[in-house]
Amino acid sequence: MTEIVALAPRLARRVAAARRAVVLTGAGVSEESGLGTFRGPGGLWEEFRPEELATPEAFARRPRRVRDWYAARHRTMAAAAPNAAHRALARWPALFPSFLLVTQNIDQLHQRAGSPEVVELHGTLMAARCGSCGARRPMAELILAGGTIEDERPPRCSCGGLWRPDVVWFGEELPGEAIDRAQRAAASCDLFVSAGTSATVFPAAGLIALARQAGAVIIEVNPEATAFSDLADLRLPGAAGTHLPALTAAIEACRSPG
């Protein structure tokens, strides 16, 4: 059965009048594409220890192990297909004069679904980056250039630096330009949607508070309640692949002429 989201009259009027919208997505948006989340039951960090695989120190100690783990994740992500949530959000740029899609995901499924511009707060596993000079190349090329199983060190850049996944590891700061852009947009938006995220990782989770301070309509799409659920004008408890298409249809209806 197709999900229907009904916006209360006052909320519908505010959404209809909104000119600047921001959507923040987390791992829950890609879960229905077969990609695991990180926290909660069945999350990646239940099975793996992040300090052994997702820190600069882990990479310095055992670069081959870290690279191989990310190579396996890359294969899974590359084989995944965008789901209904990704496809719904690809329609949002046509709905608002100003729209920014901000994601904590590293799979680039938003781009593959047709979203023209995405701010990636945690980087992307679809690319590799030299840890010394900052040069970038497709992650698939790095995996193919991985050498034999006996090689402990990953391939090196022409500058001599080690290639690594272009993702943000624990203990590293988010890309300054990305978080600055996201914070500016959240602080001036009329509508803010948080989808598929537990809202526990800062500074990304702080975007919700910035939007509330700006007087924006806050909508949360997530199976479980979060620390920010009480701030939401509308909470849709369930899967992003179900609720985001329905929410998109409701917004299109209230913003259509006549």
28 and 15 co-located in one domain: yes
Host domain of residue 99: 1-35+82-122+174-258
Q: How far apart are CA 183 and CA 201, in angstroms?
A: 14
pLDDT, average across residues 178-197: 97
Among the listed residues 74, 110, 122, 243, the single catalytic one is: 122
Q: What's at 229, amino acid-wise?
A: S
Q: List strand residue ranges (DSSP E) for the chain, in order.
A: 20-25, 98-103, 118-120, 123-130, 136-138, 163-167, 191-195, 217-221, 234-236
Q: How many residues does the chain have?
A: 258
Mark whether 142 and 226 lie in a shared domain.
no
Q: Are residues 66 and 188 in the same domain?
A: no
144 and 237, same domain (yes or no): no
53/158 same-domain check: yes
From 20, 5, 18, 10, select the one nearest 187 (Cα to Cα).
20
Instruction: Let me know: does 24 contact 89? Beta carbons within 8 Å.
Output: no
SS3 at position 25: strand
For residues 153 and 176, give the distance between their C-alpha atoms in angstroms, rounded to a whole number.
29
As for how many domains the chain has, the answer is 2
Q: Is 122 labeled as catalytic in the residue annotation?
A: yes
My answer on whether 91 and 183 are in the same domain is: yes
DSSP string covering 194-228: EES--S-STTTTHHHHHHHHTT-EEEEE-SS--TT
Does 141 share its domain with 209? no
> Where residue 131 sits, what CATH number does that domain have?
3.30.1600.10
Residue 172 vs residue 53, higher pLDDT: 172
**pTM assigned to the model:** 0.91
Final residue of a domain: which of 146, 167, 188? 167
CATH number for 111 = 3.40.50.1220
Decide if 163 contacts 141 (C-beta within 8 A): no
pLDDT of residue 149: 40
232 and 185 together in one domain? yes
Q: What is the mean pLDDT of residues 166-190?
A: 95
Residues 105 and 82: beta-carbon distance below 8 Å: no
Residue 227: what pLDDT? 87
